Structure 1
Amino acid sequence: MNMHINEAKRILVTNDRGGYTVPTDRLYPFQWNWDSAFVAMGFALYDTDRAYRELERLVEGQWADGMIPHIVFHQPSDSYFPGPNVWRTRHSIPTSGITQPPVFAIALRKLHEASGDRTRTLPLYEAALKWHRWWYSARDPEGTGLVALLHPWESGSDNSPAWDVALARVPTTTDTPVVRKDTSHVNADMRPRNEDYQRFIHLVDVYAACEWNWAKQWEKAPFKVAEVQTTAILLKAGEDLRALAQEFGLLDDAAEIVAFNEKSRRALLAQWRPAFSRFVSRDLVSGQDIEAPTHAGFLPLLALDLSADLADAVVAEMQRWSDGMKVAFPTTKPYVDSFEAKRYWRGPSWAIINWLLIEGLTRNSRADMAEALRLSTVRAIETEGFAEYFDPITGEGCGGLGFSWTAAAYLSLAA
């Protein structure tokens, strides 16, 4: 066991670029938002100073309106597309123009509990609260409690089958030439398809033409999805933010956060669909439920205290997806038409998604399933190494190797 823990720590050192961690060398040469939050939780287990640094470097990219972008381009690199010249944002440090799942406050609370360092936690708490306010104003302007994504990359699950119908409406024409770099680092069969990339870049062009103004983007967005995974992470982060606000005696903040949380809790519960034994996102362009069977339908476990019968139904469905899999938990239901065991978010198992699901199962007193998932994840990493993700059927490690968030997940799950 010790050997693997040492290797996990070595990967985090290797991927350090001066107080922030790249996900892996060359394939992802910058600082990614939710990657860094997971990495900070890994560091918090043995080096709180370095964990704080990770979050502090991420916040350097925060916009004046509160958004924390999905990529901060601290230094140039030509091994990734799209770079800063494609995003055309106007921040003091080059960043992307979209965001990513708000794991930040979850990491911050864990770090604060490990360190007790109020002086370093407080400015990061303020940054997290500004970002939460941004989510509820820019991405839920109608006050529904479910926050929306305007780009598949914001979900972190870039090419998930959950986006197939909504993305098919987005044109494949682009103003920006699409010059993919990812497929020179990783087998193309493990990455999104070219037409996905055309649509991803079409969306970037549309929003850059709006000059990244949130109200204009909301109006013009050809892709708009009220998403249960992101809302569940936001709600869990909101619970952690509220705990910090109370500890710091910031009672007005705490009351504001409680109101956000209650709205999202109600909205998430309303997305439960008994026919599928999971929660569903909503396509705001068509007004339809998104019925594609993906792992996101189980992520609300992270932030909800489900009734026993609901939790039983969720776990029974998760069990059906896991049966016969070498590595749980598949990101798409096995053997449906859209399932592809090695293609990025269309089937593979990811250690960080398992980490979130384990937290959710534990919260809902489903210790057996949580432990089975923990063991499956730990064994996969010990067998195949710190891969970006795993083929759930064969167990093969796929995508980028020497991956930071897989190392961080291992440090937490093996502990």
Structure 2
Amino acid sequence: MVNLASKQTLREDSINVLKQNDYGTYTVPALGLYPFQWNWDTGFVAAGWAVYDVDRAWTEIETLFAGQWADGMIPSILFWKPSDTYFPGPEIWGTKENPSNSTGISQPPIAAVIVRYLYEYTAKNNPQLAREKISTLFPKLLAYHRWWYKARDPLNTGLVAILHPWESGMDNSPAWDDALKAFPVGDIPPYERQDTKHVNASMRPSKDTYDHYLSLLYRPFSCENQLTGKLVNARISGAFLPLFAGVATEEQAAVLASTLQHWLDGVKYGVPSADPFEPQFDPIKYWSGPLWININWMISSGLRHYGYDELGERIERESLSVIQESGMREYFNPINGEGAGGESFSWTAALYLAWLDDSVLQHAT
């Protein structure tokens, strides 16, 4: 349980993390490790800024949409300022002579949910400003979602495809293992990773996995059959997100809640990013097992949406506890609560603030 004094201290710490990572019009996830603006990070970060400074929250989202492509796509990363602490950067997505100002792939479209919340939050005190903001952003949001269905759902199945694990936001999730192994590593140029200079290599994707990532970047699925028709057997925390989206039936929600309860029996802090009872589970290796605050925030909100308040409150409680014990880390070991990855991580700080404000959670779904 987090007491009131600790909550106030953590609130101040959270605000300081956002200020530390604030580049004026956008917030980087973590200094050094992630020195640019990330797509889905922006949404979560804006939710936190809103609690402290709603105008700054709008700016965060508006900066993201300033990088929107003509076809509606919003890149996964926007390279607003140069940095040599991250790979692959602008020169890889473009060329050394003509570096790109963004990646050529996207990320989960969380922005619409956050914009809806910002609109409702702002309308309580300044309806005119809320209308001005939403009237400008709505066409851009619509174009972004239409892009997903036009570019990534050519067969009109209602399910959109991703072309790279990075687009999922869950880079080295066990869900991608079979797909990555299905094609050989291509003839890629020599490269030097930067992430392992900031974080212990044991917590990051392996070299073989990175080789596959870059093979996709240099030669995106050009000779591979993407439509095998087979479902992935890997059990990951992303499977609980239909609750957040509100698309699960009551029967499906019951199965998800029961499954989640089973997962929580295997860890001290939920929710692990992979089934803790499966052999692929690794409690400290990026998306192969660690607890992520952004996923927990969405799952907790989704559970409440379907009436599983007690379970949703448990996820919130354990999330706040692990932050209190280990700080504003990128992700956490669900077995012992130790922090891992980047330090002073923006979305962890932002979503802690959002959890303190009930209206953020109330309007998230």
TM-score between both structures, scaled by the size of structure 1: 0.80
Distance (whole Å) between structure 2 residues aligned to residue 44 and residue 170 of structure 1? 44
Deviation at 1:174, TM superposition (A): 3.8
Structure 2 equivalent of residue 35 of structure 1: 41
Structure 2 equivalent of residue 11 of structure 1: 17
Distance (whole Å) between structure 2 residues aligned to residue 401 and residue 39 of structure 1? 15
Question: Which of 58, 83, 101 matches 1:94?
Answer: 101
Give yes or no for contact 2:45–2:346 (8 Å, CA) kept in 1.
yes
Q: 1:316 to 1:176 in 2, by over 3 A?
A: same
Give yes or no for contact 2:28–2:34 (8 Å, CA) kept in 1.
yes
Distance (whole Å) between structure 2 residues aligned to residue 205 and residue 63 of structure 1? 21
Structure 2 equivalent of residue 396 of structure 1: 338
2:15 aligned with 1:2: no
Question: Which of 329, 333, 354 matches 1:412?
Answer: 354
Question: Which of 271, 274, 281 matches 1:339?
Answer: 281
Question: Which of 100, 121, 125 matches 1:114?
Answer: 121
Structure 2 equivalent of residue 199 of structure 1: 212
Distance (whole Å) between structure 2 residues aligned to residue 66 and residue 150 of structure 1? 17
- Given residue 86 of structure 2, which amino acid in structure 1 is its aligned partner? Y
Structure 1 equivalent of residue 65 of structure 2: 59
Give yes or no for contact 1:306–1:364 (8 Å, CA) kept in 2.
no
Q: 1:397 to 1:120 in 2, by over 3 A?
A: same
Structure 2 equivalent of residue 301 of structure 1: 243
Question: Which of 150, 153, 162 matches 1:137?
Answer: 150
Give yes or no for contact 1:384–1:397 (8 Å, CA) kept in 2.
yes
Structure 2 equivalent of residue 252 of structure 1: none
2:199 aligned with 1:186: yes
Question: Which of 312, 327, 330 matches 1:385?
Answer: 327
Deviation at 1:313, TM superposition (A): 2.0
Distance (whole Å) between structure 2 residues aligned to residue 85 and residue 348 of structure 1? 31
Q: How many residues align?
A: 344
Aligned residue for 2:52, secondary structure, equals coil
- Given residue 317 of structure 2, which amino acid in structure 1 is its aligned partner? L
Give yes or no for contact 2:93–2:99 (8 Å, CA) kept in 1.
no
Give yes or no for contact 1:66–1:131 (8 Å, CA) kept in 2.
yes
Structure 2 equivalent of residue 266 of structure 1: none
Q: 1:62 to 1:347 in 2, by over 3 A?
A: same
Deviation at 1:330, TM superposition (A): 0.5
Distance (whole Å) between structure 1 residues aligned to residue 98 and residue 119 of structure 2? 29
Structure 2 equivalent of residue 83 of structure 1: 89
Aligned residue for 2:288, secondary structure, equals coil
Aligned residue for 1:129, secondary structure, equals helix
Please identify, of 14-23 and 111-120, the stretch whose mean Cα deviation from structure 2 is larger: 111-120
- Given residue 133 of structure 1, which amino acid in structure 2 is its aligned partner? R
Deviation at 1:61, TM superposition (A): 1.2
Give yes or no for contact 2:75–2:106 (8 Å, CA) kept in 1.
yes
Q: How does 1:245-324 map to 2 (within 5 A)?
A: 284=227, 286-304=228-246, 306-324=248-266
Distance (whole Å) between structure 1 residues aligned to residue 224 and residue 113 of structure 2? 31
Q: 1:368 to 1:336 in 2, by over 3 A?
A: same
User: Tell me, which stretches of 5 or more residues in structure 2 are unaligned?
Assistant: 1-6, 124-129, 358-365
Deviations 1:17-53 (A, max 9, x none): 1210000000000000000110011112231110111
Deviation at 1:305, TM superposition (A): 5.5
Give me the identity figure in percent: 45
Aligned residue for 1:290, secondary structure, equals coil
Distance (whole Å) between structure 2 residues aligned to residue 87 and residue 9 of structure 1? 33
Distance (whole Å) between structure 1 residues aligned to residue 223 and residue 200 of structure 2? 31
Please identify, of 177-186 and 338-347, the stretch whose mean Cα deviation from structure 2 is larger: 177-186
Give yes or no for contact 1:170–1:202 (8 Å, CA) kept in 2.
no
Q: 1:51 to 1:335 in 2, by over 3 A?
A: same
Structure 1 equivalent of residue 170 of structure 2: 157
Deviation at 1:308, TM superposition (A): 4.1
Q: How does 1:349-368 map to 2 (within 5 A)?
A: 349-368=291-310
Deviation at 1:110, TM superposition (A): 0.6
Distance (whole Å) between structure 2 residues aligned to residue 390 and residue 80 of structure 1? 22
Structure 1 equivalent of residue 76 of structure 2: 70
Give yes or no for contact 1:44–1:110 (8 Å, CA) kept in 2.
no
Q: 1:96 to 1:103 in 2, by over 3 A?
A: same
Q: 1:310 to 1:91 in 2, by over 3 A?
A: farther
Aligned residue for 1:21, secondary structure, equals coil
Structure 1 equivalent of residue 360 of structure 2: none
Distance (whole Å) between structure 2 residues aligned to residue 5 and residue 377 of structure 1? 14
2:29 aligned with 1:23: yes
Structure 2 equivalent of residue 168 of structure 1: 181
Distance (whole Å) between structure 1 residues aligned to residue 153 and residue 298 of structure 2? 24
User: Tell me, which stretches of 5 or more residues in structure 1 are unaligned?
Assistant: 208-216, 225-283
Deviation at 1:327, TM superposition (A): 1.3
TM-score between both structures, scaled by the size of structure 2: 0.90
Moved over 6 A (4+): 89-93
